[in-house]
Structure 1
């Protein structure tokens, strides 16, 4: 599927994986709507071909508005969900049981938010004219290797990302009749702003545990994988680990 003369929606688009993806899709010819919280958008630099819309992925009306903005620019073909949070807490820790509200919030943002964006965007994509092969669009969701190798303290995060993986196949089957593909990327340790405050010694330690390449992944590599998935018409219902062969230890 081609990006030119289409629009794309990217959540978490003001920084990290989302920002790199928004730039890559814009460079490929799409008109991109980058969705993020207002506070994040305020700090985002302007990018040619990228428009910013403030929205919370857990708010249906705000997501509908963002989808409408993208659909008004050009036929909506590409949807990439990068928005997410990853607080750490054990089931039973020094301060007692895992905060139940925190667990629910992580699932609400990472899983329910991803589903909300996918469902509402698919509704708009399904209303577009198909190409000569019957295609209308592609959804790329972001999981994590924590969906498979969750570490101590990642019970909420791993649950939410495992849910993203689990909903992919039935979603792809549901949306096949509309010409919409659904794929998932499970990144490993990526050098995003979330790691910006970590010292070089810690970063070197993280990189040392990766078989090859023995370094942190770059957001631009995630973005390049997204564009490859968009352009590869036969990729559907696939989880692609982008982790340098890393399998996370318990800690």
Structure 2
């Protein structure tokens, strides 16, 4: 599948990984429907020019995401929507038992899982239903889904029970979804980023962020959003990438 002249839905596209992915797709001649809860997604779409449109939406809402998918299909015209890069998500840190002996908040845990895992399933199911009706291209391909997991799915740190569980669920869905959607010519992949320069990192104390960057074997720095976008571009263009999770982390292993 080529980026040029194809249309993609990008969630979490107001900033960070999603914004960078939208920029790279447009630069390669593609079109994007950028979706986010943040109002700034509209300004980002305007900055990308005529090849981008914006919509506000909550990834956990069936109504919002159906509207986003429909808008992307409409933007694609006769070709419809060729793929989705799902970057929306939240980070959460909470110990099971805090220093005062209080248990973790159950609602906070459920919120993390609802956004990161249920939201991913919601976007994936609606995008797949739309792309299943596309005309088949080379190799019979009709679409591609790229979800965002995390290295925390494999080696989460203390306080990451909710975040790690939600991202491990994204990893766990990749292969069965790819197997199921193969009959429709739709590929499913996931990227598991390490520590990246995104607004999500701003929620972590500065000292902790510096320590994480220093712990990356090479290159010894935080990842750049465009490096995520470059991998998404490679996945879209390589039809043999399917049913897999790719770590994009500079070799980091959390402890």
TM-score (norm. length: structure 2) = 0.93
Residue 28 (str. 1) matches residue 28 (str. 2): yes
Structure 2 residue runs of 5 or longer lacking an equivalent are: none
SS of corresponding position for 1:70: helix
Residue 237 (str. 1) matches residue 238 (str. 2): no
8 Å CA contact 2:42–2:55 kept in 1: the answer is no
Q: How do residues 98-137 of structure 1 correspond to structure 2 at under 5 angstroms?
A: 98-137=104-143
8 Å CA contact 2:10–2:18 kept in 1: the answer is yes
1:126: how far off?
Answer: 0.6
SS of corresponding position for 1:97: coil
Query: How far apart, in 2, do the equivalents of 1:70 and 1:38 lie?
Result: 18
Q: Deviations over 1:67-124 (max 9, x none)?
A: 0000011121110110001121011113511111111111110000011101101111
State the match for 1:13 in structure 2: 13
Residue 94 (str. 1) matches residue 96 (str. 2): no
8 Å CA contact 1:143–1:185 kept in 2: the answer is yes
State the match for 1:173 in structure 2: 179
Q: Deviations over 1:18-53 (max 9, x none)?
A: 100111111122210111004443664622222110
Structure 1 residue runs of 5 or longer lacking an equivalent are: none
Query: How far apart, in 2, do the equivalents of 1:169 and 1:197 lie?
Result: 31
Query: How far apart, in 1, do the equivalents of 2:40 and 2:91 lie?
Result: 16
8 Å CA contact 1:23–1:50 kept in 2: the answer is no
State the match for 1:77 in structure 2: 82
Query: How far apart, in 2, do the equivalents of 1:94 and 1:43 lie?
Result: 43
SS of corresponding position for 2:135: coil
State the match for 1:46 in structure 2: 47
* Match of residue 161, structure 2, among 155, 158, 175: 155
More helix by share: 2
1:14: how far off?
Answer: 0.5
Query: How far apart, in 2, do the equivalents of 1:39 and 1:207 lie?
Result: 30
State the match for 1:57 in structure 2: 59
Q: 1:157 to 1:199 in 2, by over 3 A?
A: closer
TM-score (norm. length: structure 1) = 0.94
Query: How far apart, in 2, do the equivalents of 1:130 and 1:116 lie?
Result: 24
| Cα RMSD, aligned residues only | 1.7
